Chain A
Amino acid sequence: MENRPKPARETLHAMPLAAIVLVVLLLGAFLWLLYRSEREQEYHSLIKNILWVEQNLGFQLATAEERLEHLAEELARRHLDMAHFKATAGHLVANGPEIERILLLGPDRRILAAVPPSAGGEAPVEGGTFTMAAKLGKRAFSGPVSTPPGGTGFEMQVPVFRDGKLAAMLVAIFSLDDLLGSHVPWWVAEKYRVSIVDGNGNELGTKSRLAVEPGRSYVVPLDPPGHDMALKASVYPSETSFTRNALAAAILGLAVSAILSLWAVRRHIQRRVAAEQALHAEHAFRKAMEDSLTVGMRARDLEGRITYVNPAFCRMVGWPAEDLVGRSPPMPYWLPEDVEATMALNQAVLDGQAPREGFELQFRRRDGDLFDALIYEAPLIGADGRHTGWMGSVLDITDRKRAQELAAREQEKLQQTARLVTMGEMASSLAHELNQPLAAIASYATGCLNKLASGKFVREDLIQAVEKLAAQAQRAGRIIRRVHDFVRKSEPNMAPCFLDDVIEDSIGFVEADARQRGVRIETDIRAVRPLVLGDRIMLGQVMLNLIRNGMEAMIETPAADRRLLVSTTEAEGMILVAVADRGTGVMPDAVDRLFTPFFSTKSEGMGMGLNICRSVIEQHRGRLWFQGNPEGGSVFRFALPMAEP
């Protein structure tokens, strides 16, 4: 049983798997795209927001710048009115949380005033920026500077000119942290970690809720204040990704479980297919077996309807399966003349009374030939264990029976031959043995006669010769006695027997032989159950011999006339049996010697048959004789005394 992959089935198996894989891939791609677009969107909103923040900061700084420039103009106009400075700067510091301090420096960079007032130990103002602002005559921003306590910030320096000369320098110190803290709105801070970095990416100030590792970031230069300072926003990982991951995981899990279940289904299907194939193979094997059987198989249901026949059975009876299946008794292959008996037997089988050792029946083939069948019936048990009918195996035993008969006949022939051979051998050796003394006796006697006739003899010689002659006669007598003993040992085994049975048996024996020779054996049994006292076997041998002789005598007879008539009649306490053939008859010159031992009219005959037959009949106190048949051929008759029942 091989498991050949069928392309169609493979495709069938692969399709759902491919579909699932494809779905997973597509879903994955979809999720990824979604993720991508979300990221993209996030990024865009990040950029948007950061730009907005940057704009906002720019705006704030611009506002601060405007106010400081306004203050610078006011101070220029009011000859550096300190009170005004303090009031305005105080207002600015109070309202601009990003502004740490506002200083007013002289051209020599000394602090003229500070809001909030200095606590001493000022950090020097960024010199480069001061110079720049003074030279350019317009505000300038410094790079990052340290702001107490430990923060980072930057300075905005706005020069105050009077009459084209630098009168003072307004310095606003911005804290980056405060700048971010107050001007980055909550909804931005919630999503992004917003910080200000220097050119090397070091964080100078930040507004962050959490110390989480942020994801993507976007950096925009912060100008003002410039000096490579930049605004950096980093996205916090959002909670939405958890949902998405859970979704992806669920999808993946589903896909895996789908594949697993598909695989399980496939394995199941494979097992089913294997089982199916095994079943097919089994079925094919059984069919091949049934078809190759020489035994006819015939299944019938409980009513006796044929449900199945195998080819051997069809061959046996000559009807095709379609003509037989579904038939109810009587069956077409039954013998029309035995339908009733067969029906009864059939009923017995259906009642479960079929003999276990099988039974013999004659069936008729479609072409009319009869054959002997040996039938075994067994109950047919269905898959569910119920008794559904009968399975019968039918053996054609015609040949077997024929062979048996033939063997029996051969055996019988052999025995007969053996018997005849032993008889013949015995007779032959007897003849030889007797020949010796007889030859000697004859010689002595003739010698004596010759001597006596010649007249020239010595008396003693004659006496001696005659004595020797007598001794030889004794010798011959001894041989004869030995034969008597032998014959007595093989005395017939007498018992009452019916002669018609004997005749029937012997006819049965030669029937096949007769068919072969084209001889019809007819019987005319007038004697009703004739009982004789005799040896059945020996009488049977006599009948066989006479019938065979009769058949052999008709070899030359035209086929139409080859009839052998065996008849019996009763007369005066004797049973007369006649075997009449229509053969060549017995030649007149052979009639006298017919019953002589060792006389045979047949080339291969031993000449013992008729002689022995006559001896047997005489042993039974009967007579055997021969007559010509008025219709041509010869009639052998014997008479036996009837036994008292």
Chain B
Amino acid sequence: MKVHIVDDDEAIRDSLTWLLSSRGLEAEAHPSAEAFLARQEPAAGCLVLDIRMEGMSGLDLFDRIRDRGCRLPVIFLTGHGDVPIAVQALKKGAFDFVEKPFNDNDLVDKVIEALAQDARRRARQAGADSLAARLASLSERERQVMDLILEGRMNKVIADRLGISMRTVEVHRAHVFEKMGVKTAVELARLMVAMKG
């Protein structure tokens, strides 16, 4: 859960590290986009990128890491006249941007928010991962039965649709609930909606 600062101004890197540490946040500063790309990609935390830098700009760096599949929240630091660029970045999925000079704790608050979002995302990702594993354990017939349950069909209708007996449907249903770790059809539906969301 580190904050990664990428800025070519040494004073900014130093002062931001100081500011974040004053709120108990751990920060790691990188003097350029290239330097950041050269290291191991962080799995958790958030990024604070200066939009204007010598060499690769913050926006280019953002595009690059997004292409790589990095989902960390990104906060841009902008100067005068960079607002349109920052807005563009927001549309691409950046977390937020902050205009220099900063209002006391504005940036820190946004960083904390981003970290929280990242944590949530990772938790959801973990859940989604396990759900995916559970879904993968279903047999084809069980998958068909589950889809029909989610459509809210009665056992009788499911049996007619799939051309199997009511008894067999009940067996499949029990297996599906067991494998997906739910007790009722409502719970199953919630789980699937959460996964899709």
Which segment, of B12-20, B159-167, B174-182, faces chain A? B12-20
Q: Provide the bound-state CA to CA distance between A289 and B9, in Å.
A: 74
Cα–Cα distance between A582 and B4 once the two chains are bound (Å): 56
- Annotate B9-30 by CB proximity to A: 1 below 8 A, 0 otherwise: 1011011101111110000000
CB pair B12–A436 under 8 Å, yes or no, is yes
Q: List, in ascending order, chain B residues with CB within 8 A of A601's CB.
A: none
Whether the pair B11, A432 counts as a contact (CB closer than 8 A) is no
For A448, list chain B residues within 8 Å (CB): 22
Closest to B20 in A: A447
B143 within 8 A of A: no
* Chain A residues touching B, majority SS: helix
Contact of B79 among A431, A443, A468 (CB under 8 A): A431
Q: Does the CB pair B104–A442 fall under 8 Å?
A: yes
Assess whether A439 is in contact with B101, with CB atoms less than 8 Å apart. Answer: yes
Among the listed B15, B21, B77, B105, which residue makes an inter-chain contact with A472, where contact means beta carbons less than 8 Å apart?
B15
Interface check A465, CB cutoff 8 A: yes
Interface residues of A in 435-465 (CB under 8 A from B): 435-451, 454, 465
Contacts of A447 in B (CB 8 A): 15, 18-22
Given the known inter-chain contacts A436-B12, A437-B11, A472-B15, please indicate yes or no for A428 contacting B101, CB distance below 8 A: no
One of A432, A441, A468 near B80 (C-beta < 8 A): A432
Q: Is the CB of B11 within 8 A of A475?
A: yes
B12→A440 contact, CB < 8 A: yes
Q: Which of the residues A449, A472, A598 comes within 8 Å of B11, measured between beta carbons?
A: A472
**What's the Cα separation between A598 and B79 when bound, in Å?**
14
Q: How far is the CA of A448 from the CA of B18 in the complex (A)?
A: 8
Smallest distance from the beta carbon of B88 to chain A beta carbons, Å? 19
Q: Which residues of B contact A432 (CB under 8 A)?
A: 52, 79-80
Contact partners of B14 in chain A: CB under 8 A: 440, 468
From 468 to 489 in chain A, residues with beta carbon under 8 angstroms from any chain B beta carbon are: 468-469, 471-472, 475
A443 and B81 contact, Cβ closer than 8 Å, known pairs A438-B101, A468-B11: no
Residues on B with beta carbons closer than 8 Å to the beta carbon of A454: 22
Give chain B residues whose Cβ lies under 8 Å from the Cβ of A468.
11, 14-15, 18
List chain B residues, Cβ under 8 A from A439.
12, 15, 77, 100-102
B18–A443 CB distance below 8 A: yes
A residues contacting the other copy or chain, number (CB 8 A): 28
CA distance A443 to B22 in the complex (A): 10
Q: Which of A431, A439, A445, A475 has the most CB of B within 10 A?
A: A439
Question: Once the chains are docked, how many angstroms separate the CA of A435 from the CA of B16?
Answer: 14
Please, which residues of chain A bring their CB within 8 A of the CB of B19?
443-444, 446-447, 450
State the Cβ distance, A607 to closest chain B Cβ, in Å. Answer: 11
The chain B residue sitting closest to A436, CB to CB, is B9
B102 with A442: CB separation less than 8 A: yes
CB within 8 Å for A444 and B101 given contacts A431-B79, A432-B52, A436-B11: no
A120 to B77, CA, bound (A): 183
- How far in angstroms is the closest Cβ of chain B from A171? 169
Q: What distance in Å separates the Cβ of A257 from its nearest Cβ neighbour in chain B?
A: 106
| In the complex, the 3 A-B pairs of residues with the closest C-beta atoms, listed nearest first | A443-B15, A450-B22, A438-B101
Q: A443-B102, A450-B23, A468-B11 provided; 16 other pairs, C-beta below 8 A? A: A435-B79, A435-B101, A436-B9, A436-B11, A438-B101, A439-B12, A439-B77, A440-B9, A440-B14, A443-B107, A446-B108, A447-B20, A450-B108, A451-B22, A472-B11, A472-B15
- What are 9 A-to-B residue pairs whose CB atoms are below 8 Å? A428-B81, A431-B80, A431-B81, A436-B100, A439-B101, A440-B11, A447-B22, A468-B11, A471-B11
